[in-house]
Amino acid sequence: MLRVFDTAMKTSYEPAIASEPCYGRSVATRAFRLGESDSAEVLAFLAIDPVPTVVMSSYIADNGIVSALNRGTFFGHRDERGELDGVALIGHATLVEARSDEAMEALARVAKNPAVPTHLIMSNGGAAQRFFDVMTDGLGEVRLRCVEDRFEAAFPFAVQTCEYTIKNADISQLEPVAQAQAEIAFLECGVDPMVRDREGFLKRVARRIEQGRVFSVVEDGKLMFKADIIAETNETIYLEGVYVDPEYRGKGIGSRCLADLTAHLLSRAPNICLLSNVDFTKAHRSFEKAGYHRTGQCVTLFV
């Protein structure tokens, strides 16, 4: 993958922190706040591993690097040669892609005092825990630690018969879609966003509906199935919030609807992925029936 950084052309950047000790040693950080002029370089860096980084890439494509809609601030880190080796969105949902120990430590130190309070930290494998330990000087305790399986679907993909028509949700479905999403969030992290920040949550769900990223099946006025695109790039679509109304569960409806939606989305991107808590084994069987395969794990820390 071509990196667009050029030491002869790149403007200077302001370090986020000059220097501070980390685990008993002094480390000069090369972390810095990213700006719109960094977009091409950052997207090229993230595209090297497009599935784990799809959310950050999609935020940049949708909102730009500097936007309140990101609910946080993008930071980067450069190695001794001046090349980008780490990117993080630090804020409500802190997302980290660090390809060196130095980048991980420097970005975690920036996160000690975020402009937007951190609700969760997500990264591959044990990276989230390492980030949190540096961020809290090894003294913090997470509220909840979730290990999630990553499922992916790609061609060749078996087409399944689905008796329901999946459509883009419209704004008239805002309330039931938000309630379903809030139920999933509560099961995952123990916090109901409709209680914690009802107005803000409804605005975010409404925006997703308006973007055409919420898909639903409504039967007899009831939301039977839904799934949301959380992030989308040319390489990957990341689904979240796969929901089946309790009345329709255990009948294979969820897997057939998901398979039908996935077949449609594969015309837009060559890879579809989703994450699910390792404890949600019934959901996993439904994903596998829909044509998905486990491809890895990530860790989400709720702080």
Query: Residues 101-124: pLDDT tens digits?
Result: 999 999 999 999 898 899 999 987
What pLDDT is stored for residue 125 in this prediction?
75
pLDDT mean across residues, the chain? 89
Q: Please state the rounded mean pLDDT for residues 29-44.
A: 94
**pLDDT for residue 244 is more than 70:** yes
Better-predicted residue by pLDDT, 25 or 84: 84
**pLDDT for residue 2 is more than 80:** no
For residue 241, the one-letter residue type is G
> Domains in the chain, please, with CATH?
19-141 (3.40.630), 151-302 (3.40.630.30)
Strand partners, 25: 22
Contact 120, 101 (CB under 8 A): no
Strands (E), 233-302: 236-244, 271-277, 293-302
Range 220-227 contact pairs with CB under 8 angstroms and sequence separation of 24 or more: 222/176, 222/247, 223/173, 223/176, 223/177, 223/180, 224/164, 224/248, 224/253, 225/164, 225/166, 225/253, 225/254, 225/257, 226/169, 226/177, 226/180, 226/181, 227/257, 227/258, 227/261
**pLDDT for residue 33 is more than 90:** yes
Q: Please state the rounded mean pLDDT for residues 70-82.
A: 96
What percentage of the chain carries pLDDT values higher than 90? 85
**pLDDT for residue 62 is more than 80:** yes
What pLDDT is stored for residue 158 in this prediction?
87
Query: Coil, strand, or helix at residue 258?
Result: helix
What pLDDT is stored for residue 124 in this prediction?
79
Q: Please state the rounded mean pLDDT for residues 47-66.
A: 96
Positive or negative torsion for Cα 257, 258, 261, 266: negative
**pLDDT for residue 23 is more than 50:** no
What pLDDT is stored for residue 6 in this prediction?
28
**pLDDT for residue 24 is more than 60:** no
Q: What distance in Å separates the CA atoms of residue 294 and residue 97, rounded to the nearest whole number?
A: 21
Cβ count within 10 A of residue 96: 27
**pLDDT for residue 139 is more than 80:** yes
For residue 289, the one-letter residue type is K
**Nearest Cα to Cα of residue 210 among 173, 237, 160, 241:** 173
- Supply the pTM of this predicted model: 0.85
Query: Residues 178-205: pLDDT tens digits?
Result: 999 999 999 989 999 999 999 999 999 9
Phi and psi at 23, nearest 5°, equal 50, 45
| Cis before 193? omega within 30 | no
User: pLDDT band for position 149 (50/70/90)?
Assistant: very high
What pLDDT is stored for residue 29 in this prediction?
62
